Amino acid sequence: MKKYDINNTDKETLGKWYYLMTLGRALDEKAPSYLLQSLGWSYHAPYAGHDGIQLAMGQIFHKGEDFFFPYYRDMLAVLSAGMTPEEIILNGISKATDLTSGGRHMSNHFSKMEWHIENVSSATGTHDLHAAGVARAMVYYNHKGIAMTSHGESATSEGYVYEAINGASNERLPVIFVIQDNGYGISVPKKDQTANRKVADNFSGFKNLKIIHCNGKDVFDSMNAMTEAREYAIEHRTPVIVQANCVRIGSHSNSDKHTLYRDENELAYVKAADPLYKFRRMLLRYKRFTEDELKEIEAKAKKDLSAANRKALAAPDPDPSTVSKYVLPDPYQPTKYPDGNPKQDGEKETMVTALNKTLKAEFRHNPNTFLWGQDIANKEKGGVFNISKGMQQEFGEKRVFNAPIAEDYIVGTANGMCRFDPKIHVVIEGAEFADYFWPAVEQYVECTHEYWRSNGQFTPNITLRLASGGYIGGGLYHSQTIEGALASLPGARIVYPSFADDAAGLLRTSIRSKGFTLFLEPKAQYNSIEAASFVPDDYEVAFGKAKIRRPGNDLSIITYGNTTHLCLNVAEQLSKEHGWNAEVIDLRSLIPLDKETIFASVKKTSKVLIVHEDKVFAGFGAEVASILGTEMFRYLDAPIRRVGALFTPVGFHPVLEKAILPGEEQIYKAAKDLLEY
């Protein structure tokens, strides 16, 4: 016997459902009126036609146990989960008291982080990866609950949805993927998305995965399906897909006009399937409610909406002076080595050894640390460069493990896992090489957005390591250095050490810090003698502190990563040949940037050469040069020069690589030109 049907469901429950559905629909229909009155809510995706499944999603959500990742059409789902109409309107009209983001995120993105109704991207389906990540934490910490994620059927065309379902199936994670199938992705019909009209069946070959089909327009079928899904996911510790067949009664959103691509017959057809009216008819037909009783509920919903509207309209607007808040959280503040220099000398370690030792030390220091990535732990192998060697043996496969070859999954599940508890800190190898990171850029963007978008409520504690750069004869796909491309995205710290000690010190600070850090490692230096240095066991380096690797008064050479070593060699050559003293500044941190150290050097030398491995055109040096041109022009006695790679990919043959990547010859020539200027 089904748990819920029109005859056996108690009247109080039916009344509550009808109230929520009526209130939700009234709100859904009222939303566009705010835009007409220029009060906001410029993006609204109506949910009408999804009523059954959305009511059910909210009803089976267990506050305190579950995590819910709603998409932009889930208005009734969050209302059913307990959010108030006032909270929904505050988001819709982007007030300062909007729970999602204080007006920062788009309207129709409802969340209540306090209850773990999560704040998600507009790129729907990306939150499936977060659901898988938080479910991984639930399993690790023996937490009873589920992660529920929701979106339309078109999102299943996205690779990250596939990655999430595959990963959840492989790891046996209690995730409920709710696919609200209304037949359209904006104006794109299902036939243009996938060959299988029942899109969930595309995943029918996955192991450890239950697929439930239900009528998302029917309250009882949806309630039974979602109840079964939650119980099954917890009992069997497996993911469940619930495909709910819905209709979209309205347009995709208020920027869409569905009459341009749907005929009258279709519009009449979907209206005839209106779930709210069906539910109402059934309440009357089966004599569970009288007409008067239903009208009373409708009147109450109307009154409650009106009161919520009044309150929300009176709420304050966001303060534009706060826009710079919550870009990055405060990092861990190192205290042991305030000047960023090891206090003593000793035996030198390579960068690989320094990174490996620091990871192990930090994992001993904090039991809530995790590491995963591609190829990072299989018996004696600990990463292609041995950075994670021995870690799985020491910390176990629940804390240190291989990820599938799916970069977005690696980053997205890190983001998700961090949502479970802020005490969690995750280190990921985002890709085997930086060159392979591009598929994960979507999740990189999400990581950079979280803190700002949630108005400071959430930030993922992630150290994203990438073996970067060339000078190894690696060609186009093993030589890329991607800091220039990523530095334009606010919300990530970017560090790029050149020496073993800084690599260790910055890694420790990254792992201990709140927030998201991109940790770029010049792989050509992993085992180089030049980059080896003495590394104290407790060494730590603050973010945003450049290091003067060689002091000088005649020229400021600003660099980082692989080219630091080239610049030091050139500075030595300039000194020996001409007696010039070039100051070599190793930035170490690109974001935050140590303008203080740079400016002090420029005031002293009045000449600047910026050197990096990345392309000159639009490379990070362009930003440094621009800052100096704007803020330090009066101190400059010569044009700022930049040396970097040509605006080409990196060639494989050694003579091609040499012709493309910056070498000592080019650096020397540019430095000499400046010094003679």
Partner 1 sequence: MKIGLFYATGTHKTASVARKIQQEFGENIADIIPIENASQKDFEAYSHIIAGSSTWFDGELPSYWDEILPELSTLDLSKKKVAIFGLGDQKGYPDNFADGIGILANEFLSRGAILTGETSPEGYTFNQSQALRNGKFLGLVLDIENQPKQTDERIKGWVKQLKEEFKENKTGPEDSFIC
- Asked about 478 being catalytic, the answer comes back as yes
- What is the distance between the alpha carbons of residues 77 and 85, in angstroms, rounded to a whole number? 12
* Residue 6 is a binding residue for partner 1 (CB under 8 A): yes
- Least separation in angstroms between residue 181's CB and partner 1 is 7
Shortest Å distance, C-beta 200 to partner 1: 11
Between 86 and 221, whose beta carbon lies closer to partner 1?
221
Q: Does 106 bind partner 1 (CB under 8 A)?
A: no
| Site for partner 1 contains 196 (CB under 8 A) | yes
Q: Which stretch binds partner 1 (CB under 8 A): 127-135, 275-283, 527-535, 663-671?
A: 275-283
The pairing of beta strand 516-522 with beta strand 493-495:
parallel
In one-letter notation, the amino acid at residue 235 is: E
From candidates 11, 63, 197, 271, binder to partner 1 by CB under 8 A: 197
Residue number, 282 or 485, with CB nearest to partner 1:
282
Residue 261 binding partner 1, by CB under 8 A? no
* Candidates 31-39, 269-277, 390-398, 449-457; binding stretch for partner 1 (CB under 8 A): 269-277
Closest by CA position to 464, among listed 488, 484, 480, 448: 448
Selected from 5, 65, 256, 664, the binder of partner 1 by CB under 8 A is 5
- Applying CB under 8 A, among 108, 193, 215, 517 the residue interacting with partner 1 is 215
Q: Which residues contact 551 (CB under 8 A, 6 or more apart)?
A: 581, 583
Contacts (Cβ under 8 Å, ≥6 apart) of 411:
129, 428, 430, 440, 443, 444, 447, 462, 464
Dihedral (Cα; 134, 139, 145, 151), 10-degree rounding: 40
Query: Which of 181, 446, 483, 614 touches partner 1 by CB under 8 A?
Result: 181
- The site that binds partner 1 (CB under 8 A) totals a number of residues, namely 21
With beta carbons less than 8 A apart as the criterion, state whether 520 and 503 touch. Answer: no
Query: For residue 343, what are its two tokens?
Result: 């206090």
Nearer to partner 1, 118 or 218 (CB): 218
Quick check: 415 and 443 in contact, CB under 8 A? yes
What single string gives the DSSP state of each residue in 617-672?
TTSHHHHHHHHHHHHSGGG-SS--EEEEE-SSPPPSSHHHHHHHS--HHHHHHHHH
Only segment of 22-30, 141-149, 195-203, 453-461 that touches partner 1 (CB under 8 A)? 195-203
Does 282 engage in binding with partner 1 (CB under 8 A)?
Answer: yes
Concatenated DSSP letters of 215-273? ETT-HHHHHHHHHHHHHHHHHHT--EEEEEE----S-SSTT--GGGT--HHHHHHHHHT
Helix (H, G, I), strand (E, B) or coil at 608: strand
When asked if residue 7 is in the footprint of partner 1 (CB under 8 A), the reply is yes
Stretch that binds partner 1, among 52-60, 270-278, 317-325, 383-391 (CB under 8 A): 270-278
Neighbours of 285 (CB within 10 A): 9
The reply on whether position 183 binds partner 1 by CB under 8 A is yes
224 binds partner 1 (CB under 8 A): no
Smallest distance from partner 1 to CB 245, Å: 5
Nearer to partner 1, 162 or 220 (CB): 220
Catalytic residue among 44, 258, 478, 565: 478
Nearest Cα neighbor of 357 from 504, 193, 205, 552 is 504
Binding residues for partner 1 restricted to 241-260, rule: CB under 8 A: 245, 247
Closest to partner 1 by CB, 201 or 538 = 201
Q: Specify whether the CB–CB gap between 405 and 433 falls below 8 A.
A: no
Phi, psi of 495 (to 5 degrees): -120, 150
Interface pick for partner 1 out of 26, 139, 188, 273 (rule CB under 8 A): 273
Q: Which residues contact 393 (CB under 8 A, 6 or more apart)?
A: none
Q: Is 294 in the site for partner 1 (CB under 8 A)?
A: no
The contact set with partner 1 (CB under 8 A) reads: 5-7, 181, 183, 196-198, 215, 217-218, 245, 247, 269, 272-273, 278, 281-282, 285-286
Catalytic residues: 478
